Amino acid sequence: MKRLSAIFSLIALLAFQACEGPMGPPGPPGLDGLDGVTIVGKAFEFGGNFTAANDYQISFTFPSANLASDKVLVYLLVGEFEGEDIWRLMPQTYYLDNGILVYNFDFTRRDVICFLDGAIDPSTLGSDFTQNQIFRAIVIPADPANFRMDYSYYSATMEYYGIEEEDFIKTYPRN
């Protein structure tokens, strides 16, 4: 009996594998002629000096206004290793002997402002914290389809958005 049951089960399994159901509903319309569109973010490099005269702020105005839904990431150049720049996602916090220093930023559709913040008197900072600071601003198209990504990894962010070194519009000379 077990053998007969196994044979009928095998026949039923093979018979049902060949069945097809009705066609499902159509999917949402795509972009005509654009299969797998990649949206590239805009990339800018800028810099300057944090001084009392500029209220310890460095601002950059975008060449054209961004969309209201766009977001901006800002990275701070913190050094170099084996010929490669080292970038850190802001805000960046430093715990110094005389207080806490935070490199922070805010943005609008038209500009981004980097500023010194924290529980420290910025006039007491050495030039390595205030002079010739270089930043990279990446305008990210905000799309609900974008998954949650860890933007703190500079190289992964650049790779995901297809941004190359030559894509950066550089407005501040490096020393």
The full length of the chain comes to 175
pLDDT digits (tens, 9 = 90+) for 7-21: 666 666 655 665 566
Of residues 64 and 114, the one with the higher pLDDT is 114
Of residues 36 and 4, the one with the higher pLDDT is 4
Residue type for 146, please? N
Residue 90 pLDDT exceeds 90: yes
pLDDT digits (tens, 9 = 90+) for 32-72: 544 554 556 789 999 999 999 999 999 999 999 888 888 89
Model pTM?
Answer: 0.67
Cα–Cα separations (whole angstroms), residue 167 to 19, 79, 80, 101, 107: 53, 21, 20, 31, 21
Domains of the chain: 42-170 (2.60.40)
- Give rounded-to-5 percent helix, strand, coil for the chain: 20, 35, 45
8 Å CB contact between 90 and 157? no
Instruction: Kindly give the residue spans of alpha helices, DSSP state H, lying in 18-144.
Output: 127-130
Residue 30 pLDDT exceeds 80: no
Dist CA 19 CA 12 (whole Å): 11
- Residue 123's contacts (CB-CB under 8 Å, 6 or more residues apart) are 52
| Residues paired with 151 in a beta bridge | none
Residue type for 74, please? V
